[in-house]
Structure 1
Amino acid sequence: MSARGLRRAAVTALCATALVSSGCSLGPDDLPSVRGGIGDSYDVHLEFAGVMNLPNGADVMMDGLRIGEVSEVAVRSDTVRVTVRLGEDSRVPASTRAIIRQNTLLGDTYVALDHDAVGPAERFLRADDTIDVDRTSSPPQLEDTIAVLAYFVNGGSIQRIQDTMGRINAVLPVPGDTRRLAALVSTDLRDLSGGIGEIDRLLDGFDATAVAVNSRAETLGTLFSADTGYYWRRVAINIVSYISQILPSVGSVYEGGLWLVPMLNSLADTGGVLRGLWDSGPADAARIADFLRLTVLPFAAHPAITIRSVETGAGEQIIADVENLLRMLGAVR
């Protein structure tokens, strides 16, 4: 190899050594953020129990907007201090809660700032303010999440869910029956909604009754007092004593009164006939009144007979001869 080739090899080896040594000191945190800078900003500190794999440059989101990024993650004795750089025009309420989230299981982590409705007296975070660990939430470890998913997949949970759905589908009626059932239920619900007024009226009646009873509580209380109980007890004793005196005489009448049975049957028949006469009495009275008013009284006031036909034994009409005869006698007007 010539001297010129040796010099080229030495320069190449020197450049490779410099590149490797400089590359070993380059970390992911030294790379610039692909989202660009924040511009004018101020720093706020967040205390977490753990931050999983939160990198520098991670987004800080609030109300769905990116308002800053993580500038530093420092491990302390019992917490992890995360310093975030927020835009100068960002107004973060002092009661905000910080949560580390991921969009997907293996997605990028970011810091989410969650807060309640902002009141007029709400104070906002200033530079170097700190959100304590009591108001921050750390995400579960990725290994624990993957272990839970693996147990869920390999433990037969999916198969059990599939079997359960199969049993549910087996016991459910066919779609046509389901539609008819839904139609009946909807009809019942409409009828129920239409009768809400009646239910309200019933409840109002119960309420009015309860109010009336409550307003007369003192009067009702006297009905159950000791004096009232003594009164009703004496009444019961007197009634029982009278009945005990009457029962022997009633028994003697019962034993010796069999002869009364035919008479009572006759009285029952007579009562039935009288009841029939009583029921038909108004109609018969109306007929008699009509007969007297329309027939008897007019005849008594103007007695007359209308002869329409006079026949011989052979069937010949002699009404004209009879009329002439009666006229000569002065009986025809």
Structure 2
Amino acid sequence: MWIRQRSPLVWVVLVATTVSGCGLNPVRMQPPTFGGPPTVRVVLEFSSALNLPAGAKVTYEGDNVGSVRSVALEGGVVAVAANLDSQARIPAASTAAIVQDTVLGDCYVSLGRPAGVDTGPSLTDGARIPVGRTRPPASIEDMMTSLSSFIGSGSIQRLGGMLHTVNAAMPPTTDQTRKVAATVARDLRSLASNSAEVDRSIDTLGELAASLKNQAGVLDDFLTADSVDFWTKIWAGIASVIGVLSALGDIFGRGAWLIPLLDSVSTALEQTGPPGGGSTIDTFTNQTLLPFLLDPRVEIAEVATPDGVNRTADTRQILAKLGALR
């Protein structure tokens, strides 16, 4: 049987391949692309990229859009180079985070749409997302430390006490609980149906707050020590005036009996009047009122009834019997 002798060149290639394969890292091997979509190379800066391997997937809003090419330390930050699908149209202002779906799951990079930005330029080849818009992964050690602190600080006991308090505050029967839940649901529906009024109230409060802010100088002056002393005294004075007015009102209410008397005095003054007609009050007082008070007497010239009958004699007899007639 004839056996073909292998060429020495073939043996050299096989030995070189075997030796070089001993130092080959499969993770660094990039799969070849055969007519796939074009990609853009971007760099994501993280403060930490713990457990993020080269070749990890990159997602945008849940869809796979690329993979990590390399992870390296550059200028105090971790530069994660990634190849992204250019047809994904990822905004240039996107955020990035290294996440892990499960405790034992693989880490990968998740890109997110920036808050308040719907459209904008897309990431281009060579673009970078700075460390200010990225979030490093949460380490298992930190998670276990937080969980240990939560358990050891008595939070579970406090949670149990809170649930016990809530149960004690609930109605004792299921029917009453349903009524309470129905009332709360009705109130929430009413609040939802009147959201415009709630918004208007909030806007009014906002306008009031803005007005108070604009009048901060006036409020500061109003709340000084001198202003406080002034308003304290003026309110005390107003309270005193109100007390006086209330007392006067009581006097006027109880002095209704003076009205006929004052009306009679007014009528008498109108009928008698100051002598001389047109004299001043001083003349009336000096010539009429004071002499009468010094020697009070009334001269009765005639007494007649409304129908014209003269009763002067009868009046004299009655006054004489009373001792009022001189």
Q: TM-score, normalised by structure 2?
A: 0.46
Structure 1 or 2: more helix by fraction = 1
Q: TM-score, normalised by structure 1?
A: 0.45
Higher gyration radius (CA): 1
